[in-house]
Amino acid sequence: MTDKADTHKRILILGAGFAGLYTALHLDKTMGEDASVEITLVDQHHYHLFTPMLHEAAAGVIQPGLILTPIRRVLRGRRIHFLRARVERIDLEAQEVTLCCRQIPYDVLVIALGSVSEFYGLDSIREKALEIKGADDADRLRCHVVNHLEAATRESDPRRRRKLLTFVVVGGGCTGVETVTELHEYLVHLHKEQYGLIDPAEMRTVLVEAQNCVLLQMGHSLSEAALRRMQKMGIEVMLDAPVTHYGEDGLEFANGREALPTDTVVWAAGVRANPVLDDLPLEKDRMGRIVVDSTLRVPGYPEVYVLGDAAHAEHPRTGEVYPPTAQVAYRQAPIAAANIAADILGGSHRQFDFTYIGDLVSLGRLSGVADPLGFRLRGFPAWLLWKFYYLISLVGWQNRLRVALNWLLALLSPIDSSLPQQCPAECVGELCL
């Protein structure tokens, strides 16, 4: 990597999420005006998605566009080349990546392609369930909810109407809990504002979790606090309920529990690494993440770095595996950039030695749970900390200002329940609008 005979180095970064985008920005700063280094950032979207606020966009608390930052705007004035393209194949031996539109060689490769939903082989879930992973999912969920409320106003069969009005989120982790609480408050708002003729007793919001508790990673006290909060809101929580199938009768379970009739399942029960990594001849964990060393490099391939949800990285002292969160991805970026600079310019490598500071979980309006650095917070203090932390983490001061204004308006006035004009109507039976 430091051969002086070849001074031109091509750094290729795959993925413009937290890990990829910030690695590019740190490299731009670290490498200065060195014209011998070429930095290329590739992503299939033209925007950076701020995923921690996706559930708020889905519930109308903030405008969906506020969590999308155009990548070219972020890179304006920098010498990072952005290429919008889909990654199809990575050839480690030839040091070449095949995109949907071309092939591109590299000297240093950063794989930060993120994750996709893990369906655990449940094809019926994969085909029919909604997700809460991408930017389109927020609009899709809101459209789906309104379409089903509209259909329920015309449905005369009480059993069918109740199925239309049962909204289920599967997964009791951070994403699932945040999604179900925001979805419930969105449904309450829609009922009050537009659908008062629907009997509220027919409307159900349900959280399904395979384990015997929610927010397992946050400990018993905060798990119980979150459970009590959801139950107080009117959310039904089904624990010890592993899902096996999603069919005409609704959601079916492994333990003999009666099927749950529903036409709405939002899947938030796990993630796995991007499937592009499946064909790479590298050691991976059960989530498909590539095993990396303490410097975030792939053993045997010192020119390849893997970050974020694509990386199985362990704490150098405790051996604990870092979780697939934005917090970890964001912290890995400067370490990877420093080590790449050391590859090219010479110098020592740094270990990724980061103590996970804990989780922040919002539970709807003015409530949350958090365990920053071992401190346990619940209620309004946790909600306030969640707002502050993610507000300052947003990319761009314009988005920070607009999101803060959206939050203020959401507290002082009804949330925005309008739908985008291009919202497609579902057309199956009574759903034809």
With a CB cutoff of 8 Å and minimum separation 6, the contacts of 63 are 57, 402, 406, 416
Q: In one letter, which amino acid is 425?
A: A
Long-range contacts of 281-288 (CB under 8 A, 24+ apart): 281/92, 282/92, 284/312, 285/312, 285/321, 287/115, 287/118, 287/312, 287/324
- For residue 93, count CB atoms less than 10 angstroms from its CB and return exposed for 0-12, middle for 13-18, buried for 19 or more: exposed
CA nearest neighbour of 152 among 140, 167, 144, 162: 162
Angle between helices 220-233 and 174-193 (to 10 degrees): 20
List 150, 155, 178, 182, catalytic entry: 178
- For residue 196, count CB atoms less than 10 angstroms from its CB and return exposed for 0-12, middle for 13-18, buried for 19 or more: exposed
Cα separation, 311 vs 317, in Å, equals 18
Catalytic residue check, 193: no
Structural element, H or E, at residue 88: strand 87-91
Cα separation, 167 vs 297, in Å, equals 43
CB 57 within 8 A of CB 30: no
Cα separation, 87 vs 41, in Å, equals 12
CB 170 within 8 A of CB 161: no
CA distances from 389 to 94, 359, 370, 424 (A): 42, 11, 11, 35
Cα separation, 287 vs 276, in Å, equals 13
H runs (alpha helix) in 234-347: 326-345
CB 156 within 8 A of CB 163: no
Name the residues annotated as catalytic.
Answer: 178
